[in-house]
Amino acid sequence: MHASAPAVPTAGAPSVDLVPLGGLGEFGLNMMAISCGETTIVIDAGAMFPDSDLPGVDLIVPDLTYLESRRGQVQALILTHGHEDHIGAVPYVLPHVQGPLYGPPLALALVEPKLEEHGVTHGPGIVPVKPRDVVTVGPFTIEFLRVTHSMPDCVAVAIRTPQGLILHTGDFKIDQTPLDNDSFDLPRFAQLGAEGVLALLCDSTNVDRPGFTGSERDVEDAFEELFTSTEGRLIVSTFSSSLYRLQVLIDLAASFDRKVAFIGRSMDRNSQIAQRTGHLHLPTGVVIKDSDVGNFPAQDVLCLVTGSQGEPNAALSRIAINDHRHVRLDDRDRVVISARAIPGNEKAIGRVMNHLARRGVDVITASDRPVHVSGHGSAEELKLILSLVRPKYFIPVHGEYRQLARHAKIAEVVTAGLPNAVHVLMAEDGDVLRFDAEGGRLVDKAPAGRVLIDSTRVGEVDDEVLRDRRHIAADGVVVPVVAINRQTGQLEGVPELMVRGFVTADDEALLTDGAIRLSEVIEACGIEERTDPGLMQERVRTEVRRFLRKRTGRRPLVLPVVMEI
């Protein structure tokens, strides 16, 4: 099972190419192709969510042109864990894969509903793996190693190739006290380092942070104090995949005699999947439905909600403007945002916090108390991995270029005293890194980029302009123009629907009815939502799309313009 890797490749051994298709130069889209001869394997298939400057785009996935060019040769897709930035593109990648999908059981369980939603079945099979399992795919022998992260069931992959051993860490931190007691397999990392590692691909996300990242248990004390001091409901917003965080909160709720409600579609779905796979344990009688929240005294309820990034349609945003069906806040309640702000989301999160402040609610973030710890290793942990593995070549992955560059410098410092200092290969998406008799180097550029996905399935494109052109060509464009008084939140005049390339037999009546419907919807919104341009734009877009789909069956591109007067 654990045969020693040769220190040098055998004479005439075929070359091995590494091609990052995402995750080098950005956060998200993590995906790495490794090719040798007629066999390619892919590690992870991540997605990322669009910024507000991509209207109508619901998801971004990597460009798969490289995999298409190797049609019939992609023999395995390997998942390291179940976060969206590693599994979000699986439904789009799997049709290009002729061999099995391998991954830890939790990651595969989280992928399953995605495949069902897209109608993707995989004949070659879906194979769960556990740490220290070994599988063979063509010239590759792949071993799975336990690592710790912000969710359970995460692995690194050690890939034996004709050129030597390639070690890919996946996402990790070194948590010495993980909640599930599944420790980071440091001994195996050290063994592999002693055998000889050709190339190390290592997570760079937190390279800018000095010291060590805290354990998932480190939030317990802060939350225990919040449970003690909160007189009303405790509403905690976190990522629905942060299952360790959810377990800590559920255990505290049970000890403080609070009922737990999962609020938000992904929170509800992921909690059910995690229960089914044995990664989330719920004491009997603790969980209640979201519709039952109002039936219990406020001091007896904990709500676990989606929306920690300020997403307009998420549960926390609806709760913040008193627009949620089942949860209404009062000034005794307390809201905790237990997540880091993903770069670019600060404005949206601030907007939600302003709405919560208007409710008179106390809002707690990680800057106030230690209610969040990262899932990624800080600088000292990255140094430790480099010291244990002592690779011949080092390739920083997972991060923007400045993180990759910082990680490269750390690698040079850590290995400076070794007999053979590491060779750093700085790569970006699409670079072809070749290992052969001449060593490791950058040799070529493969097609790489982003494909923008519209969940209505109207467009699937690799460029914003192309996506919009196709969308407009198919169904036209509608621009609802709404003017709202900045102070009072009142609608100023009747909304106007401007259309291009959207023609029906009764245009005028349709547009008039649409404007009237839009007026009614806006008037029914609370004043806070009407005076929040971000929320208002999302509401206008949703309502206009719904109205036009119902009346015409068509799905034009809707670009709302909300003017504050």
Q: Sign of the CA dihedral 250, 252, 254, 259?
A: negative
At 299, list the tokens: 């001091």
Q: Which residues pair with 200 in a beta bridge?
A: 167, 394
Q: Is 203 part of the annotated catalytic residue set?
A: yes
CB 397 within 8 A of CB 24: yes
Residues whose CB is less than 8 angstroms from the CB of residue 563 and which lie 6 or more positions away in sequence, other chains included: 481, 482, 483, 484
**C-alpha span between 145 and 186 (Å, rounded):** 9
Centroid of chain to Cα 101: 19
- The catalytic residue among 81, 96, 149, 376 is 376
- The DSSP secondary structure of 11-44, one letter per residue, reads TTPPPEEEEEEESBSBSS--EEEEEETTEEEEE-
Helices 243-255 + 265-276 axis angle, to 10: 90
- Taking every pair of Cα atoms in the chain, the longest distance, rounded to a whole number of angstroms, is 80
Burial of residue 281 (number of CB atoms within 10 Å: 0-12, 13-18, 19+): exposed
CB atoms within 10 A of CB 127: 15
- The catalytic residue among 44, 203, 362, 532 is 203
CB 50 within 8 A of CB 452: yes
Q: Which residues pair with 206 in a beta bridge?
A: none
Residue tagged 């990034």 (tokens): 309
Short-list 18, 8, 3, CA closest to 441:
18
Q: Is 376 part of the annotated catalytic residue set?
A: yes
CB atoms within 10 A of CB 30: 31
> Helix or strand or coil: residue 558?
strand
**C-alpha span between 113 and 78 (Å, rounded):** 18
Q: Output the CA–CA distances (angstroms, integers) from residue 42 to 87, 99, 122, 374, 555, in the order listed.
A: 12, 11, 16, 26, 35
Which residues does the annotation mark as catalytic? 203, 376
